[in-house]
Amino acid sequence: MLGAEGLAQLARALGLSFGLIGTLRQLGAGSADVPLHVAAEFG
C-alpha cells in the first residue's frame, strides 16, 4: 500500500491535483485516506 510519500510521488507523476491531496492529508493522512483519494481521482 502506498504511503503518503508514495502517493505524493504517484500524484506528481500523473499530474494530479495537489490541492485535493493536501485537503485529504489535512483531514487526517493515513492508510484510510489512500483508497479514498484513489476513489476520488480514478473512480
Specify the pTM: 0.29
- Non-local (6+) Cβ contacts of 31 within 8 A are 1
Give the range of the structural domain holding residue 36, as residue numbers without chain letter.
4-42
What's the confidence (pLDDT) of residue 40? Answer: 66
Please tell me the predicted confidence (pLDDT) of residue 8: 79
Count of domains observed in the chain:
1
- Could you tell me if 14 and 27 are in contact, meaning their C-beta atoms sit under 8 angstroms apart? no
Tell me how far CA of residue 32 lies from CA of 10, 20, 39, in angstroms.
17, 15, 11
Cα–Cα distance measured from residue 24 to residue 29, given in angstroms and rounded to the nearest whole number: 6
Chain-centroid distance of CA 32 in Å reads: 10
Residue count (the chain): 43
The pLDDT value recorded for residue 31 is 52
**Which pLDDT tens digit goes with each residue over 1-43?**
668 888 878 777 776 565 676 777 766 655 555 666 666 666 5
